[in-house]
Structure 1
Amino acid sequence: MTVNGTESGAHLPVLIIGSGTTGLALAQGLRKAAITCTVFEKNASFFGERDWNMGLHWGAPVLESLMPDGWWERIQGVQVDPHVPTKEQDTLNWLQGDTGDMMAAITFGPFYRLRRSKLRNLLSQGLNIQYDKRLQNITYAEDGQSVTAHFFDGTTATGCMLVGADGARSTMRQILLGRELGTINHIPYAATFVQRKFTKEQALYLRSFHPLFLACAHPNNNFAFFGMHDVPDANDPSSWTFFFYISWQSSLEEQETTKGWSDVQRLAQQKDFAKDFCDPWKSALEWTPDDTPVWYLGLTDWDPGLEGHRWDNHGGLATMVGDAVHPMTYQRGQGLNHSVTDAGKLRDAMVMIQSGEDRRTAVNAFEDEMIKRGGSEVRDGTANTILVHDWERVKQSPLFTKGMRKSEV
């Protein structure tokens, strides 16, 4: 890599913007294929971000292919509970939110429930990651052989390709498409997330509903999820951290009006919702102290398949992957699977380019497939979110009609 300088295109690295799961998985895949790359992270350090957990199922073989040989054996330690072996088939139970009656049992597998922080820590090993690098602009060499990323600290980096893996509110997407077209789309739904430990007796009771995850739809047009987030000691239930939320229909006007709410107000709203819920949500929120930190999120999406959303990749010099190109709602549990699939397919395209394939042709083909697949999932995900918050239509949800498999395109 050259900072504040240039270098011949043939020997330049791939530049990856963002050290989230997708960017790191791609970087590991390129490293495994002996393709030099550098990752740029806008934050000043690797730590300090919010942590959450994600479902990996049909995308697991792709993630394994991106990892160095032997690393997949370490995936068990990245799960929310590393002490519970992954089953070949597992069941996501859906309850009716007010009565607790079983609505559906969706079987799929193998299913990995991964902690984002632990997965990022694993995938960061052995990589060249530069911190405090916030992307400001992109320029392209006149000969079409290189691209330069310009950062707010005044430095630059020149590479053979620039890949935006910088998340749902991607700066790279806004640079490539302009602020109006590239800005995330807000939709009228919201959720407040809680991560909390409980007493031994409380923890054992809450976990008795399912060892890892549980979902419900409520006749009040709410959706809810409950699951594990961290089990450092299998024999000490008071050390377990649970992760849970209730989501609801929230107009954009309401989101704007309440944007200044404190954590106390957000949690009070969740507690009020939970009064009409069955357990484990009702008890978990009753047992959560009023001053517990929470995390509020208005739901968003961005459909790469919409007219005007196809960006100019400048002959294959600039592209995007993961949430930067197809941010989706999360009730259907597909985001990580599509993101690692993007990384795997871009790795394959880069290998072909290294072997002599025309860069423009290879990147266009990669983007065509990703946009068709990811765009379809964005639309399915948003449709699913709408349906699971509408009690009269809830059983039409793609989660019930398609289960956890990926959308057909």
Structure 2
Amino acid sequence: MGEYLSVMEDRNLPVVSGASATVLIIGAVGDLGTTGLALAQGFRKAGIRCTIFEKHESLHAQPRDWNMGLHWGATALQGVLDCESWDKIQTVHVDPSAPVADHDVLKFINSMTGEPMSEIHTSKFYRLRRSKLRSLLEHELDIRYKKVLKNISMSGDGRTATVHFEDGSSYAGQFVIAADGARSTARQLLLGKNKGAVRRLPYAATFVHAKFTAEQALYLRSFHPLYIAGIHPSGFFSFFGMHEAEDPDRPETWTFFFYISWKYSLEEQDSTAGWSNKQRLDQVKSFAKDFCDPWKSAFEWISDDHQVWYMGLTDFDPGSKGHYWNNHGGRVTLAGDAAHAMTYQRGQGLNHSVTDAAKLVNAVTDAVSGLSSQATSISAYEDEMIARAGGEVRLSTINTEMLHDWERVLASPVLTSGMKHKHK
């Protein structure tokens, strides 16, 4: 088996034990937790049979939750959903009671002084909870849980691909699409462990979800009803926003989502890899002492044993040398973070992921209907995706570097280009 994709008929591989489907999707919970589900909904809408394989035991097996910005990618997500599902998109919003405005403003402030720095005007900006979006997208899908990918093999006749799992099961299909997250197993099978690994970056962040007293919650939300971003002269970037406001009349039940990110060398990341939750919290609380509100008070008000979530930043650029995988005649490809892991300060990940889904549904539909060959359709998808999302990976990483360097911050794409999708 080895670390590379097996591109041959291998009599030592297990006999295919599952019923075949046209499309086999690897990953429902990986990365943003939406790419595989959005793909499957698009195929369901198109009448193309597909099955999702997920390594976790359920969609909600991981306790952490995100919220994500959907803006220019909204059209793509709407395109893969049926009308009934899209009509429920407001219920997935962090504040379902507040209709998404036709125009919105993302404010950037100096997070040390509180002085305004920039306002980015956007068209409809959906702030969606990942867990609720997953719940919206999972209905009527064939999802097989506890399926840990082991290998992918190709039939000798060039017609099918077979996915093999750690539990000994295997399934054959005409298309295999891996959407198994930034640390994609499928990508490492295609490219090898070294070339298929994410690139570690010298930046890190610590995230918090927290509730407050009614008085505190109203004060914190007074800075912006949904989200605000801060840039600190000492090289910190920060975000503060609403995560869950199901009951607008009970501020004590609201959950806020906030983080601080900073430059953190790989040596420092490695030396603190074993830190406890308290050490992570103490570290970020010490940073916040030099911040203005809402960050300063929010970090002061959470208890000293509050749960936090730390992560080092990474990326994967599909356009980099050595990163172009063999799709074996269009039988296997990547989507979402598996194809293009990017930093999040520019807020582009979800938009590119759902765009991948929409374009892949079209590509597979064209191939299945005979409008183009399978190899041509999937290669065309990959060429467009690598140009679009690979460019975004690079731009987002540059933006992350700028936002943590006060001397360069005013030249940052997030201040000059805003939330627009741009690539050459």
Category of TM-score, reference length = shorter chain: over 0.9
Residue 264 (structure 1) aligned with residue 278 (structure 2): yes
Which residue does the alignment assign to 2:384?
A: 369
2:403 match: 388
Mapped to 1, the partners of 2:82 and 2:189 lie a distance apart of 33
**3-state secondary structure, aligned to 2:356:** helix
8 Å CA contact 1:195–1:242 kept in 2: the answer is: yes
Q: Name the SS of the counterpart of 1:182 in structure 2.
A: coil
Is the CA contact 1:174–1:182 (under 8 Å) kept in the aligned structure 2? Answer: yes
Where does residue 233 of structure 1 map in the other structure? 247
Match of 1:21 in 2: 34
- AA of the residue aligned to 1:232: E
Question: How far is 1:48 from its partner?
Answer: 2.6
Q: Return the offset for 1:284.
A: 0.2
Residues 67-76 or 370-379, more deviating: 67-76
CA displacement 1:287-328 (0-9 Å, x = unmatched)? 010101110010000110011100000100000000001000
CA contact (8 A) 1:115 1:229 kept: yes
Q: d(CA) in 2 for partners of 1:196 and 1:176? A: 40
Could you give the per-residue CA deviations for residues 202-235 of structure 1, whole angstroms, max 9, x where no partner exists?
0000000000000010001100000011112111
User: Of 16, 36, 47, which residue of structure 2 is paired with 1:5?
Assistant: 16
Deviation at 1:84, TM superposition (A): 1.1
1:91 and 2:105 are equivalent in the alignment: yes
Say whether the 8 Å CA contact 2:41–2:81 is kept in structure 1: yes
Amino acid at match of 1:371: I
Q: What is the rounded CA distance, in whole Å, between the counterparts of 2:175 and 2:226 in structure 1?
A: 40
How far residue 68 of structure 1 moved from its aligned partner, in angstroms, is 1.4
Q: Distance in 2 between matches of 1:45 and 1:70?
A: 24
User: 2:43 corresponds to which residue?
Assistant: 30
Which of 212, 218, 226 matches 2:232? 218
Q: Which residue type is aligned with residue 270 of structure 1?
A: V
1:10-409 matches, within 5 Å, as 12-19=21-28, 20-49=33-62, 50-356=64-370, 357-409=372-424
AA of the residue aligned to 2:384: E
SS at match of 1:173: helix
2 CA distance for matches of 1:24 and 1:45? 13
Name the CA distance, whole Å, in 1 between partners of 2:21 and 2:56.
Answer: 24
Task: Report how far residue 47 of structure 1 moved.
Answer: 1.4
Query: Which letter maps to 1:324?
Result: A
Gaps of at least 5 residues in structure 1 are: none
Which residues of structure 2 form unaligned runs of 5+? 1-13
Q: Which amino acid aligns with 2:220?
A: L
TM-score, with structure 2 as normaliser? 0.94
1:408 Cα shift? 2.2
Q: CA deviation at 1:6?
A: 7.5
For the 8 Å contact 1:380–1:407, the answer to whether it is kept is no
Equivalents in 1 of 2:224, 2:100: separation in Å? 14
Once superposed, which parts of structure 1, at least 4 consecutive aligned residues long, lie more than 2 Å away? 3-8
Q: Distance in 2 between matches of 1:208 and 1:122?
A: 30
Which amino acid counterpart does residue 320 of structure 1 have in structure 2?
A: L
Q: Residues of 2 paired with 1:184 and 1:220: CA distance?
A: 28
Q: What do residues 221-261 of structure 1 show as CA deviations (whole Å, max 9, x unaligned)?
A: 10000001111211100000000011000000000011111
Counterpart Cα distance in 2 of 1:183 and 1:225 = 28
Q: Which moved more, 1:68-77 or 1:279-288?
A: 68-77
Give, in whole Å, the separation in 2 of the partners of 1:39 and 1:133: 10
Q: How many residues align?
A: 405
Matching residue's letter, 1:32: K
Q: Counterpart of 1:48 in structure 2: which amino acid?
A: A
The RMSD of aligned alpha carbons is 1.2
Q: What TM-score do you get using the length of structure 1 for normalisation?
A: 0.97
Give SS of 1:228's match: strand
- Residue 271 of structure 1 and its aligned partner are, at CA, apart by 0.7
**Partner secondary structure for residue 325 of structure 1:** helix
